[in-house]
């Protein structure tokens, strides 16, 4: 089992103060991660019934709450990720000043949150090849399995002509787990 305090110590020791980062974690680590990382922005992608309140450390305008289920096709009684979710994600990413970390989470830190992190990084790095971003995502998280529906919608919104989907497909399924460990992705992608 990962010692989360050791993880943060390792992460912060290796992070240059000018380096901007997106952290991804499961719901179970949100409060701990906000306290430990000093995140200023939070993105929650979770179903309506388990939606969290905005933590006191996060300004209400700095918390994007996207109520959706982790599905890729319509299912009765469930909320399919849609164009409005992706538009809100892109707008929220535009408003982030990168002056403190952003934390993105879903239930397990595997699918919706990794999709949102990939989308945010593609949006913030429009001139970087999507496959490079996907490789960095896979290197940071062996369990990442981005929600294909979110990626497809973002690929269309960002006019990426299918390259975001191809990049995610090239990552493969990833290791199976019930809950992912927290991981960090630098905003400025090294090419």
What is the Cα–Cα distance from 58 to 139, expressed in whole angstroms? 29
Number of domains in the chain: 1
What is the Cα–Cα distance from 30 to 88, expressed in whole angstroms? 21
Q: What is the pLDDT of residues 9-20, one digit of tens each?
A: 444 444 433 348
The verdict on residue 71 lying in a domain is yes
Band the pLDDT of 69: cuts 50, 70, 90. Answer: very high
The residue segments making up the domain with residue 118 are 4-186
What is the Cα–Cα distance from 163 to 16, expressed in whole angstroms? 31
Alpha carbon 51 to chain centroid, angstroms? 16
Handedness of CA 117, 123, 128, 130 (dihedral sign): positive
Collect all residues with Cβ–Cβ distance below 8 Å to 155 and sequence separation of at least 6: 161, 162, 163, 164, 165
The verdict on residue 144 lying in a domain is yes
The verdict on residue 64 lying in a domain is yes
The verdict on residue 179 lying in a domain is yes
The 3-state DSSP class for residue 186 equals: strand
Give the mean model confidence (pLDDT) for residues 102-115.
98
Residue 137 has pLDDT above 70, yes or no: yes
Q: pTM, whole model, 2 decimals? A: 0.91
pLDDT score recorded for residue 16 = 39
Residue 22 has pLDDT above 60, yes or no: yes
What residue spans of the chain are helical by DSSP H?
4-13, 30-37, 83-95, 112-124, 130-140, 148-157, 163-171
CA angle 125, 29, 69 (to 5 degrees): 70
The verdict on residue 191 lying in a domain is no
Work out the mean pLDDT of the chain and round it to a whole number.
91
Give the mean model confidence (pLDDT) for residues 117-136.
97
> For position 169, which CATH number holds?
3.90.190.10
């Amino acid at each position: 089992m990962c010692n989360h305090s050791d993880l943060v110590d390792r992460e912060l020791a290796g992070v240059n103060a000018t380096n901007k980062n997106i952290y991804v974690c499961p719901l179970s680590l949100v409060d701990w991660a906000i306290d430990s990382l000093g995140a200023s922005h939070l993105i929650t992608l979770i179903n309506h019934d388990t939606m969290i309140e905005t933590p006191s450390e996060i300004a209400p305008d700095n918390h994007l709450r996207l109520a959706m289920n982790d599905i890729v096709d319509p299912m009765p009684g469930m909320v399919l990720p849609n164009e409005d979710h992706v538009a809100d994600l892109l707008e929220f990413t535009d408003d982030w000043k990168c002056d403190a970390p952003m934390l993105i989470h879903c239930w397990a830190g595997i699918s919706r949150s990794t999709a949102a992190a990939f989308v945010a990084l593609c949006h913030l790095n429009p001139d970087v090849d999507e496959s490079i971003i996907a490789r960095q995502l896979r290197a940071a998280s062996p369990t990442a399995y981005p929600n294909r529906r979110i990626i497809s919608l973002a690929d269309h919104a960002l006019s990426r002509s299918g390259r975001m989907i191809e990049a995610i497909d090239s990552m493969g399924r990833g290791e199976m787990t019930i809950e992912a460990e927290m991981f960090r992705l630098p905003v400025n992608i090294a090419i």
